[in-house]
């Protein structure tokens, strides 16, 4: 083991807990987080054999993040077959919501309508908001979300519809606002005379 590899091994083991916690927050479960950490570590190790690594911790994060994104994409593709009994606590749900709300300076760097989208997401009722975040960011299936929120899958679909409709309004404020209302004719005997 070279001196560089020695230093890298030392630094990575110092930051292991931090990385695993971060991955866990991103991926939702400990087991996957550990797997991703392990393969990220191996990637860094491979790099270190032939390249000089400036900042092992940052490289480790960069690789871990890419692997985590791949994992989430994979989950979305195999949504129906990927079912885990999730033990998301209330705290984690709140924290997930909190940690993904962009700061004001982040918002100003976005396209106008996307800025409005994030402001809108902030004002969504709790369950549609959690549904949207767990599905789009954490890659959870409707089934998993239903378990976490203790509701039926069809309720989750309704929350998603509610969230999506609010998002679309940010894109096109005046589209489809008027509903077609079909009235019953009141029975003739019950009609009141207007004097």
Q: Which residues bind another protein (CB under 8 A)?
A: 22, 26, 47, 50-55, 57-59, 61-62, 65, 69, 76-77, 79-80, 99-100, 102, 106, 110-111, 113-114, 117-118, 121, 135-137, 141-142, 157, 160-161, 164-165, 167-168, 170-172, 175-176, 178-184, 186
Q: Are the C-beta atoms of residues 143 and 152 closer than 8 Å to each other?
A: no
Identify which of residues 20 and 47 has a Cβ nearer to another protein in the complex.
Answer: 47
Q: How far is the CB of 38 from another protein (least distance, A)?
A: 20
CB neighbours (10 Å) of residue 179?
6
Q: Are the C-beta atoms of residues 118 and 110 closer than 8 Å to each other?
A: yes
Q: How far is the CB of 95 from another protein (least distance, A)?
A: 13
Q: How far is the CB of 31 from another protein (least distance, A)?
A: 21
Q: State the Cα–Cα distance between residues 177 and 174, nearest whole angstrom.
A: 6
Identify which of residues 11 and 157 has a Cβ nearer to another protein in the complex.
Answer: 157
Half-sphere exposure of 85 (CA within 13 A, CB side): 0
Identify which of residues 185 and 195 has a Cβ nearer to another protein in the complex.
Answer: 185
Q: State the Cα–Cα distance between residues 113 and 189, nearest whole angstrom.
A: 52
Identify which of residues 31 and 73 has a Cβ nearer to another protein in the complex.
Answer: 73
Q: State the Cα–Cα distance between residues 65 and 78, nearest whole angstrom.
A: 20
């Amino acid at each position: 083991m070279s001196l560089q590899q020695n230093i890298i091994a030392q630094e990575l083991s110092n930051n292991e807990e931090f990385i695993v916690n971060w991955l866990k927050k991103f991926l939702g479960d400990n087991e996957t987080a550990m797997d991703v950490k392990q393969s990220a570590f191996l990637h860094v190790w491979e790099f270190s054999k032939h390249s000089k690594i400036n900042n092992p911790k940052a490289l480790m994060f960069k690789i871990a993040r890419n692997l985590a994104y791949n994992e989430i994409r994979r989950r979305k593709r195999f949504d129906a077959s990927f079912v885990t009994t999730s033990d998301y606590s209330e705290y984690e749900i709140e924290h997930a919501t909190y940690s993904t709300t962009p700061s004001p300076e982040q918002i100003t760097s976005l396209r106008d309508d996307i800025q409005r989208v994030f402001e809108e997401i902030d004002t969504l009722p709790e369950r549609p908001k959690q549904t949207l975040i767990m599905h789009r960011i954490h890659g959870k299936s409707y089934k998993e979300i239903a378990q976490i929120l203790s509701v039926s899958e069809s309720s989750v679909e309704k929350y998603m519809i509610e969230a999506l409709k609010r998002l679309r309004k940010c894109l096109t404020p005046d589209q489809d606002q008027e509903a077609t209302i079909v009235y019953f004719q009141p029975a003739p005997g019950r009609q009141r005379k207007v004097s």
